[in-house]
Amino acid sequence: MDVILDSNIYRDDILLRSKYFDLLNDYLIKTNSSIVLPQIVLDETKELYLRALQQRQSKIRTNINELNLALIDKTIHNSPPTIDINLEVEKYELYIKRRLNIKKEKVIPINNDFLPEIIKRCIKRQKPAGEKYEARDTLIWLTIKQYCENTHQKQVTLISKNHSDFAGSDKKTLERSLIAECDLLQIRINYFQSVEEFIAAHATEISFINEDWLAENLDFEVLKTDVFDSLNNSNKKTVYSYFTQKTKNKQLIFKPLLIQPYDDDFFIYEMIDNSIIVNAIIKAELKIEFKYIPEDSCKTIEHFNCYSQNKDQIITIEYLYVALHIIITVKNRKTFKQELSSLQIIN
């Protein structure tokens, strides 16, 4: 069964580094399936990558200029790197196709004959047309339907985070009117919000991997280190945002103190090389120390001196509830590799 990824899936992991894409490739090999890439999705994904490069390049220029302004010795001033962004975008297209083994014939060109149908559906707000992205979503939908009609299986899978336009009220299955369209054509289009959900639906049951095995083989110290690193780096803004909304104070620092798991779930996928991937979702309570200063107390003090000089500093303990997505690679019934895939605050 071939799979279509919407541009929002590429956007969330622009270089497709997640282990889930390895699992997806494994599924495609096992089932003799392919990634199908509508031209509209490819064009939009390339544009997202171009903008991401432009934003990073602009940030680098700003940082280098600020660094140069602080350097007395002009002979050590730096220049921003020269990057041919258009060339990098073309390289990116090749990278996507190699990463997901996308064949030339699986890139589906835009069908201009769809234009009258797109206009009609947009005017009538007929799904997947809605308040946002109505023309592009409709074009994607018509492209997928036409492709599915021409496949031997008469079945494909769409993976898109855009549940408001493609999914029903449960956000997990295709919207009813879209299912009715498929029924008329005697085709089936499956819907998933993420590659992770798709992989979970095609997981394998392995008898020896159970809750007891997970408890015994999960390296808790490694998990604790990974979680604390995540909080202090990639999830730092999320923690700040959570606490500033709660206290209305922006001047704060925090330190993770303790992690206490209280629930877990997992699914298993058997790879073509006989290794096993365990995707564990562990819910845990995090104990975090927050130090903050009421806004009025910091107005006359430079930010980096604020905590050492201000006597109005407040220290509080907060408990955050998080979902930890952990990927464990198993070989010979033992953990070969463990990595924290993502951390989500669920308070």
Residue tagged 């049951």 (tokens): 205
Residues 148 and 246 in one domain: no
> What CATH number has the domain bearing residue 91?
3.40.50
Residues 182 and 271 in one domain: no
Structure tokens at 40: 């509209």
Residues 220 and 330 in one domain: yes
Query: Domain total for the chain?
Result: 2
Using alpha carbons, select from 161, 60, 41 the residue that is nearest to residue 109. Answer: 41
Residues 261 and 142 in one domain: no
Distances, alpha carbon 291 to alpha carbons 90, 225, 286, in Å: 47, 21, 16
Residues 108 and 11 in one domain: yes
CA count, 13 A, side-chain hemisphere, 266: 25
Residues 307 and 274 in one domain: yes
Final residue of a structural domain among 200, 224, 249: 200
The DSSP result for 251-285, as a single string, is -EEEEEEEEEEEEEEEEEEE-TTS-EEEEEEEEEE
* Residue 301: predicted pLDDT: 42
Residues 10 and 141 in one domain: yes
Mean pLDDT of 87-106: 96
189 phi/psi in degrees, rounded to 5: -120, 110
Query: Using one digit for the tens of pLDDT, what is the confidence trace for 13-47?
Result: 999 999 999 999 999 988 889 999 999 999 999 99
Residues 155 and 25 in one domain: yes
What residues have CB less than 8 Å from 299, skipping those under 6 apart? none
Query: Using one digit for the tens of pLDDT, what is the confidence trace for 288-318?
Result: 888 877 665 555 444 444 444 555 677 888 8
Query: Using one digit for the tens of pLDDT, what is the confidence trace for 149-191?
Result: 998 889 999 999 999 889 988 988 999 999 999 999 999 999 9
Residues 213 and 227 in one domain: yes
Residues 249 and 325 in one domain: yes
Q: Which helix (H) or strand (E) holds 308?
A: helix 306-309
Using alpha carbons, select from 143, 288, 116 the residue that is nearest to residue 124. Answer: 116
CB 288 within 8 A of CB 240: no
Residues 276 and 192 in one domain: no
Final residue of a structural domain among 183, 200, 217: 200
Mean of per-residue pLDDT scores for the chain: 87
pTM: 0.75
Final residue of a structural domain among 200, 227, 244: 200
Give the residue numbers spanning the domain of 35: 2-200
Residues 41 and 177 in one domain: yes
* Residue 256: predicted pLDDT: 87
